[in-house]
Structure 1
Amino acid sequence: MIGIVNYGAGNIFSLTAALERLDLKYGMINSESEFDLYDRIIIPGVGHAGTAMKKLVDSGLVPKIKSLTKPVLGICVGMQLITDFSEEGNSEMLSIIPVNTLRFKEAISKKVPHMGWNQIYSENSSLLFNGIDNETYFYFVHSYFIEFNPKFTTAFCNYGIKFSASIQKDNFYGVQFHPEKSGEAGEKLLKNFANL
């Protein structure tokens, strides 16, 4: 069963709708003790990383999240939260995966935010991408990106610059795109996460 960390970071309707379509059982985590009710954890997030981190700190859930040994998936801003630092609000993040979240510079000559469908390229055989072809399109909406680091990057994307589309360290996984808005491939990824 999947627990969704409910720390007030935006609309999670599309995520819960996708889980319902896949018949994956889920519930909301509002307190530290509720983490024990679930065997998979999703950290969602939309909007501003600095604000999201402040909400997470205010929720009192940070120490518990950092100590988790069960599979954890950060989606979009949820992925940025598990990095060291974000230029969005110049904020310290959870420091679970030692990479930084940076702003797309205007010099990339691409429209910011990066919004719409883009291909991702697998770097290794992450279990999240089981049965998903390399160069599959996923749906992105973001103005900040996670720097490419071959040690932690499991898939990358190009948008004027090569950046991490997904990262992993131990039981912590992150995806910059929105699997819940990415059609069949996104649903397959959520199913893979539920089966880790």
Structure 2
Amino acid sequence: MKLVIIDYGAGNIKSIQFAFKRLGVDAVLTNNVAEIQNADKVIFPGVGEASSAMQKLRESGLDKVIPTLKQPVLGICLGMQLMCNSSEEGNTKGLGIFDVDIKRFSNEVKVPQMGWNTVTDLKSELFKDIKEDEYMYLVHSFYAEDCKYAIASTEYGVKYATALHKDNFYGTQFHPEKSGVEGEKILKNFLNLDD
């Protein structure tokens, strides 16, 4: 299997590579369009600020490539947020794969949300063998609104979509690569998804 991690200078790359290595898969880190298009599975990572990450995608032309991919794609954290319509962070226009907007948590909760929280309302093969209310690791100040694409949700001052799915595109707000055994199961489930 050819697994590609999109390299656009805004990624939590090493921990993702190590997590897949533990599953017996060497992930290729690349920004080469042909390599990304020809991969069996694609990881779209992201750490940092939305507008500068989006700028990097535009500069490399990857903003046009990612929405056209046909194989399973998993956006992680900021990667998932950039797959949405827009983000309040830096007033950023996203890739528009998911018709949902990214909002900032209210000041009534500690921001960023950092640490472990439960995921519920689990749907999709991505969560095969994962129990309701399992804990996943999160670090974020912005969230995807609860919507029809939600395949998992989390409560933090508000109920929000902690995972999304539409066609061949998946996204998790939490970091499966930092979520222990259960997170690794999710990465394995992603590898096992049918094209």
TM-score, L = length of structure 2: 0.95
Q: How far is the alpha carbon of 1:31 from its aligned partner?
A: 1.6
**Which amino acid in structure 1 is aligned with residue 64 of structure 2?**
P
- Matched length: 192
1:41 partnered with 2:42? yes
**Which amino acid in structure 1 is aligned with residue 142 of structure 2?**
Y
Segments ≥4 residues shifted beyond 2 Å: none
Partner of 1:145: 143
1:116 partnered with 2:115? yes
1:188 partnered with 2:185? yes
2:95 partner SS: coil
Deviations 1:24-47 (Å, cap 9, x if unpaired)? 231022121112441000000001
Distance 2:63 2:182 in 1: 30
Q: How far is the alpha carbon of 1:161 from its aligned partner?
A: 0.5
Q: How far is the alpha carbon of 1:123 from its aligned partner?
A: 4.3
Q: How far is the alpha carbon of 1:12 from its aligned partner?
A: 1.2
Deviations 1:107-150 (Å, cap 9, x if unpaired)? xx2210000000000243x010001111100000000000001x
Q: Tell me how large the CA RMSD over aligned residues is.
A: 1.0
**Structure 1 residues 161-170 or 2-11, which shifts more?**
2-11
Kindly report which structure 2 residues correspond to 1:83-162, keeping only aligned pairs within 5 A, or say none.
83-106=84-107, 109-124=108-123, 126-149=124-147, 151-162=148-159
**Which amino acid in structure 2 is aligned with residue 16 of structure 1?**
Q
Q: Contact 1:50–1:91 (CA<8 Å) still a contact in 2?
A: yes
1:9 partner SS: coil
**Which amino acid in structure 2 is aligned with residue 38 of structure 1?**
A
**Which amino acid in structure 2 is aligned with residue 135 of structure 1?**
D
Q: Contact 2:3–2:42 (CA<8 Å) still a contact in 1?
A: yes
Distance 1:145 1:93 in 2: 14
Distance 1:26 1:37 in 2: 13
**Which amino acid in structure 2 is aligned with residue 118 of structure 1?**
N
Q: Contact 1:31–1:61 (CA<8 Å) still a contact in 2?
A: no
Q: Percent identity?
A: 49
TM-score, L = length of structure 1: 0.95
**Which amino acid in structure 2 is aligned with residue 192 of structure 1?**
N
What residue ranges of structure 2 are gaps of 5+ in the alignment? none
Q: Contact 1:79–1:176 (CA<8 Å) still a contact in 2?
A: yes
What residue ranges of structure 1 are gaps of 5+ in the alignment? none
Kindly report which structure 2 residues correspond to 1:50-65, keeping only aligned pairs within 5 A, or say none.
50-65=51-66
Distance 1:182 1:129 in 2: 13
